[in-house]
Structure 1
């Protein structure tokens, strides 16, 4: 395995159940840093299936990894990380869903703050993000808002991250090597 540089922002994206989280976890292990798993999901003891999904993710991770539950304040969490840390943020789709009720102006302010902090952070940050725009346009406003916000976030993070990976059907593609970025201005 190749040694990673001192500081990296990595984006791992793809469809559901494709292997995104497993790939991101392997990258975090390669970092050689103290890994902090940043869980954006909120636990719901009344939803047994959701709790089982959370449990399955937790069982895969090394016991020495810390887990921080951060459903909303992602920018502050990244800002507070040390250069000796590798943050694994799983997932951006859940984080966006947690903020879906915010008005557009407030969302844009949160997004701008997050992107500025990511560009200037000291430690490694690995983001896991779902690709939601490969299907039909959702028939309901909340679905369209979610898809648009997540799509915008993933594209803007993709302009910062290096490398960016696409994981689909259990295969990993390094988009930073295979593709070229669009002008994101």
Structure 2
């Protein structure tokens, strides 16, 4: 059986503490961290601006941040090519790498500590952005196809990376069925994304009231 990508998924409801848990794990790695924020605040949504500000204030200043509402795999690979194996293979041994990753021989412990961690927060908003980028959000088939395309592209990128990955996502499927079609489509699409990601993850946690429960390990 092929070894799974070093991927951890944190699931939870709103204000469950899932983001804080994910950030704490990223901080413990001791290496460089790229924080990928998928939120996109509209000018007429002050509460979302405030939520984004709180997340920014909580992140360590030395972390890199990429604000990316859509096409995560493409944007991450273009902005940080040295994180991925194909880019690293194109650098000759005499040529110093751009990011410092693998710049000199290290013992195993130090090399592991310096591996980059990519934290994506969150899948919930990413899937929402995918839905509302469609010409017809009511078309469930088109939406699920778009979700599969974006998620599978990200999972393929993970497989050729030298990074740790931490993803945060909401679990919206514990309540009743939504009354309107777009909301139902969204819940179906998010559930699909979560299942695809969890199937590739080494560890999956459900966070409730700041406490985490291991779902898969």
TM-score tier (shorter): 0.7 to 0.9
Matched residue SS, 1:167: strand
8 A Cα contact 1:78 1:118, kept in partner: no
TM-score normalized with structure 1 length: 0.84
8 A Cα contact 1:78 1:117, kept in partner: no
8 A Cα contact 2:10 2:206, kept in partner: yes
The residue number in structure 2 matching 1:94 is 125
Q: Deviation per CA, 1:103-161: give whole Å up to 9, x if none.
A: 33444333332232233332111100000100111111111111111111111111111
5+ residue gaps, structure 1, are: 1-6, 178-185
Change (3 A) 1:71 1:60: same
How does 1:63-82 map onto structure 2 within 5 Å?
Answer: 63-80=61-78, 81=80, 82=83
5+ residue gaps, structure 2, are: 85-114, 135-141
Aligned-CA RMSD value: 1.8
TM-score normalized with structure 2 length: 0.73
How does 1:163-178 map onto structure 2 within 5 Å?
Answer: 163-177=203-217
Q: Rg: which structure is higher? A: 2
Count of residue correspondences = 171
* Distance in 1, Cα, partners of 2:179 & 2:152: 28
